[in-house]
Amino acid sequence: MRAAESPRTGTVAEIAGRLRREVRVLAVSHEAPDGDALGCLSAFLLMCGRLGIPCEGYIPGESALPPEYLFLPQVKDVRRGTAPSVEPETTVYFFDCASLLRSNSHEFLAEAARINIDHHADNPGFGDFNLVDPAAPSTTAILYEVFKAGGFPLDAEVATALYVGLVTDTGRFQYANTTPYAHHMAAALQEAGVDVSWVYRQVYESTPLPKLMLLERALSHLEVRLGGALAVSWLSNEDFVKAGADEGHAEGLIDTLRRIHGVRVAALLREKVSEGRIQTKVSLRSTDGSLNVAELAHKRGGGGHARAAGFTSDEGVSAVLAWIEREVETAL
């Protein structure tokens, strides 16, 4: 049932205690899911299975999931498209969702209690219980703490799913969120049975050819602007068709833009057809932290982290690109 009290911050122990008593749960993450979103769902659904709790997963949107994460247990069975109807005794667990809108959850909020587990600093605390820790390197790190607090069994499968969120959100332990804690957690997960090089093969060395073809097209549109500080590229609908690729293949392509010498901000724009309308989906990255890209994304109704953020616009690619260039020029 929906918690009677006003929204509040929960502790990992409280959330673990609550999870143990759940009648039924729905696990939700954000549209266009990444390794952290899918790692959370996989680990959580596996754990609910171990604890005997009836559970289902849901991700809004219809776009194909990034193929590099399909090896994670439970992920292929996650419901897509319209949100499932939820009985009053169901608790909805949100993972890695900076805002309610991104989880499309306004469609099923009426009855169920909401638990909000996330590491985005701009998360407004939309849950009845909120476990939001911007210092956590990934949302799987917070989930890992919940499992530890509950004394839940951490087997190799669950540990692997948690590890995928950690390794991808930290850029393979290279981004600024790679804290000593991140390394300690990785060590503990490895001790629990994660085969690190096998995960590496699945996530980074199983790239479908269409994804590389899409990268080729993104590189063919690559421009560096503002004296080399801003790297931009874009992918049109036609690029996706010609590469034989879908939105899931765009995951991580921006990492190639951010590598360029001297680049401080990277932007990758892609055309997205949704309900017959063309929209532009934007990924933003700050390499050195000198510009807070989440603040930029907020101006256009998006969100994210200081160094990795995004938004979706009804404007076309060139108009959005011009806006980004103006904003970055003013800010840097």
Q: Which residues bind ligand AMP (CB under 6 A)?
A: 30, 32, 34, 98-99, 102, 283, 302-305, 308-312
Please report how close the Cβ of residue 170 comes to ligand AMP at its closest, in angstroms: 13
Please report how close the Cβ of residue 241 comes to Mn ion at its closest, in angstroms: 27
150 vs 304 by CB, closer to ligand AMP: 304
234 in Cβ contact with 317 (< 8 Å): yes
Please report how close the Cβ of residue 243 comes to ligand AMP at its closest, in angstroms: 19
DSSP structure string for 1-65 = ---SSPPEEPPHHHHHHHHHT-SEEEEEE-SS--HHHHHHHHHHHHHHHHHT--EEEEE-S-SPP
Q: What, of Mn ion, ligand AMP, none, does residue 267 touch, CB below 5 to 8 Å by kind?
A: none
95 vs 163 by CB, closer to ligand AMP: 95
Tell me phi and psi for residue 312, to 5 degrees.
-120, 135
Q: What, of ligand AMP, Mn ion, none, does residue 304 touch, CB below 5 to 8 Å by kind?
A: ligand AMP
143 in Cβ contact with 40 (< 8 Å): yes
125 vs 193 by CB, closer to ligand AMP: 125
Question: Where along the sequence are the contacts to Mn ion (CB under 5 A)?
Answer: 34, 36-37, 96, 139, 169
Tell me phi and psi for residue 81, to 5 degrees.
80, -130
182 in Cβ contact with 170 (< 8 Å): yes
Please report how close the Cβ of residue 6 comes to Mn ion at its closest, in angstroms: 26
Q: What, of ligand AMP, Mn ion, none, does residue 302 touch, CB below 5 to 8 Å by kind?
A: ligand AMP
d(CA 250, CA 71): 18
Closest Cα partner for 234 from 226, 225, 59, 6? Answer: 225
10 vs 248 by CB, closer to ligand AMP: 248
1 vs 260 by CB, closer to ligand AMP: 260
Q: What, of Mn ion, ligand AMP, none, does residue 287 touch, CB below 5 to 8 Å by kind?
A: none
Please report how close the Cβ of residue 31 comes to ligand AMP at its closest, in angstroms: 8
Q: What, of Mn ion, ligand AMP, none, does residue 309 touch, CB below 5 to 8 Å by kind?
A: ligand AMP
Dihedral class, residue 206 (left if φ above 0, else alpha if ψ from -120 to 50, else beta): alpha
Q: What, of ligand AMP, Mn ion, none, does residue 312 touch, CB below 5 to 8 Å by kind?
A: ligand AMP
What are the strands, taking DSSP E only, across 110-229? 113-118, 129-132, 223-225
91 vs 312 by CB, closer to ligand AMP: 312
Residue 119 vs residues 69, 145, 270, 291, 317: alpha-carbon distances, Å: 20, 13, 26, 19, 30
Q: What, of Mn ion, ligand AMP, none, does residue 36 touch, CB below 5 to 8 Å by kind?
A: Mn ion
Pairing of strands 8-9, 303-304: unpaired
For residue 234, the SS3 value is: strand
Q: What, of ligand AMP, Mn ion, none, does residue 305 touch, CB below 5 to 8 Å by kind?
A: ligand AMP
What is the H or E stretch that residue 280 is in? strand 277-286
Please report how close the Cβ of residue 34 comes to ligand AMP at its closest, in angstroms: 6
96 vs 157 by CB, closer to ligand AMP: 96
47 vs 164 by CB, closer to Mn ion: 164
Pairing of strands 303-304, 308-313: antiparallel
Q: How many CB atoms lie within 10 A of CB 221?
A: 15
Please report how close the Cβ of residue 37 comes to ligand AMP at its closest, in angstroms: 8
